[in-house]
Chain A
Amino acid sequence: MATRDLVLAALFAAIIVALGLVPPIMLGFIPVPITAQSLGVMLAGVILGAKRGGLAVLLVLVLVAIGLPVLSGGRGGLATFVLPTAGYLVGWFFAAVAIGYCSERFVGRSQSALVQVTGFFMAAMIGGVVILHGLGILWLAYGTGTGLSTAFLGDLAFIPGDILKAAIAALAGRAVMVGYPLLPQRA
């Protein structure tokens, strides 16, 4: 991996960590605040692609594991990996890789704005909703022994928020692609 790609991944990991430290952002049209950290994970895949985006998220997870309180709310340490909700944490890595892989396939510079945003949105939905929640549900069901259907019901509450985040990630991803055309799209 080129030094530049390593640095890009590290910088994005720093962005994800920083997004966990800022207060949740309120959206105009819904009364629920949005935690920006999981948005950062989607953005890593959309903007950096599979390899560098995956590495960025992996670095965040390594920081968590070595005892830095880098998750939102000051969480961190090995204890976060032994909870039944750890699937959503470990799933970040697979989500970022999948989002990056799909973004690289779906989106090209020559497409129209609508196609680009739609492509990014589909990628963020596949990785950030289907894969992330799928893994989270499996882990939760195994960890608590409640069974898949109840884990799925508990998970449903978080789906609307993540669909919204996928939409924001798609818009932001396209805005960065247009606003910073020098960023190499392929790792």
Chain B
Amino acid sequence: MKTLYVQGNTWLHRLSPGLKLGGLAVFSLLLFATRSPVVLAAAVFLAGAIHASMRFGVVRTWQQLRVILLSISILTVFTLLLNGPADALAVFLRLVALAVLAATITATTSTAEFIDTITAGARPLERIGLVKAADLGLAIGLVVRFVPEVLARYEAIRDAHRARGLKQRPLTLAVPLIIQTLRHADEIAAAIDARGIRGQNNRKLGEGS
């Protein structure tokens, strides 16, 4: 799995992830508060200038934005048909500005930085006993680790269908995939506990359930 992060050392790379996310949130609130095409066009220009100053190159920019631009185009066409050109222009400019800035932040913040930020953000939740902040990093690591294995299992099940001349149905594909994958939960949990990654208390909890 390839991340959308682009390595580099620009000012945006060095800015703290919390600040970048906060900035994006403020930017989006401001954009949704206005309908003026001039202000929104200025926002598109600002986001475009920030993106251009990262010097990712046209090819990478296009790759990152093409799917999202398709969604934006569809939404713009619908707004045009339903509400007229003024609203459609506002929707188009607002979404392009937001999408470009968001994609730029995604490209300049590494997965590790994001996980650290999320873990730090989860600390208040930990204090009220809702989650363990450190578990988040562990869980994210587990997901990334097991995606290729689930895919391999899916292919094996699909090949088994083909070998038997069976039609591939959602039910007959999903059920064995889920059972085969979840069956390993006990071993993985035991391996995690054996290494004491989550501390002693959780192991006792695990035995109880």
Contacts and interface: CB of A to CB of B under 8 A. Distances in A.
Contacts of A113: none
Nearest to A186: B209
A65 interface: yes
Contact of B139 (A19, A43, A59, A171): A59
A130 B170 CA distance: 23
A105 interface: no
Contact of A15 (B118, B140, B181, B198): B181
Contact of B75 (A9, A78, A84, A175): A84
Contact of A36 (B78, B83, B174): B174
A81 B147 contact: no
A90 interface: no
A74 B65 CA distance: 11
Nearest to B105: A78
A83 B68 contact: yes
* Highest count of chain A CB atoms <10 Å: which of B91, B132, B150, B184: B150
B143 A22 contact: no
Main DSSP-derived SS at the B contact region: helix
Contacts of B35: 145
A175 B203 contact: no
A39 B174 CA distance: 10
A1 B79 CA distance: 45
A3 B99 contact: no
A14 B95 contact: no
Interface string B62-83: 0011011001100100110011
B189 A3 contact: yes
A62 to B, nearest CB: 6
A81 B21 CA distance: 12
A68 B193 contact: no
Contacts of B19: none
Interface in A51-73: 55, 59-60, 62-63, 65-70, 73
A172 B28 contact: no
B168 interface: yes
B175 A78 contact: no
A36 B1 CA distance: 19
A126 B115 CA distance: 32
B43 to A, nearest CB: 12
Nearest to A11: B181
B143 A67 contact: no
Contacts of A176: 175, 178-179, 182
B69 to A, nearest CB: 10
* Highest count of chain A CB atoms <10 Å: which of B87, B115, B131, B182: B182
